[in-house]
């Protein structure tokens, strides 16, 4: 019985900042995604002892897209979650996207 394995991918990182917040909030997507990913990972590790958590990155470093999927394949992941914070110029756009 192998543990259920989830790979958490904090979108962007390093030289790839992703989207940038408004003038008032100069947050970058890479930092928000990393914070959310690390928080989610800690929560899973604490609450679900039978789940193995693997991260594609735990620091502000750039990881190529192909490398992220390679990590999941090598870990024989049951679930791959890539976290991003998308931008829309429309004020009517709210909520989450799931693919």
Q: What is the mean pLDDT of residues 42-70?
A: 96
Q: What is the chain's mean pLDDT, rounded? A: 90
The pLDDT score that the predictor gives to residue 86 is: 79
Residues 77-88 pLDDT 10s: 999 999 998 777
Number of CB atoms found within 10 A of residue 86's CB: 11
pTM, rounded to two decimals: 0.87
Q: What is the mean pLDDT of residues 9-29?
A: 83
The pLDDT score that the predictor gives to residue 20 is: 82
Query: What is the C-alpha separation between 27 and 17, in angstroms, rounded?
Result: 10
Query: What is the C-alpha separation between 90 and 99, in angstroms, rounded?
Result: 21
Query: What is the C-alpha separation between 52 and 84, in angstroms, rounded?
Result: 22
The pLDDT score that the predictor gives to residue 91 is: 81
Q: Show Cβ contacts of residue 30 under 8 Å, excluding neighbours closer than 6 positions.
A: 10, 11, 12, 13, 14, 16, 17, 18, 60
């Amino acid at each position: 019985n192998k543990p259920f394995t989830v790979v958490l991918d904090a979108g962007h990182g390093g030289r790839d900042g992703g989207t940038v917040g408004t003038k008032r909030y100069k947050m970058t997507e890479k930092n928000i995604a990393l914070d959310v990913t690390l928080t989610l990972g800690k929560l899973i590790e604490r609450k679900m002892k039978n789940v193995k958590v693997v991260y594609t990155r735990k620091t502000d470093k750039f990881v190529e897209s192909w490398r992220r999927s390679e990590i999941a394949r090598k870990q024989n992941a049951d679930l791959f979650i890539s976290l991003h914070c998308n931008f829309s110029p429309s004020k009517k756009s709210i909520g989450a996207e799931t693919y």
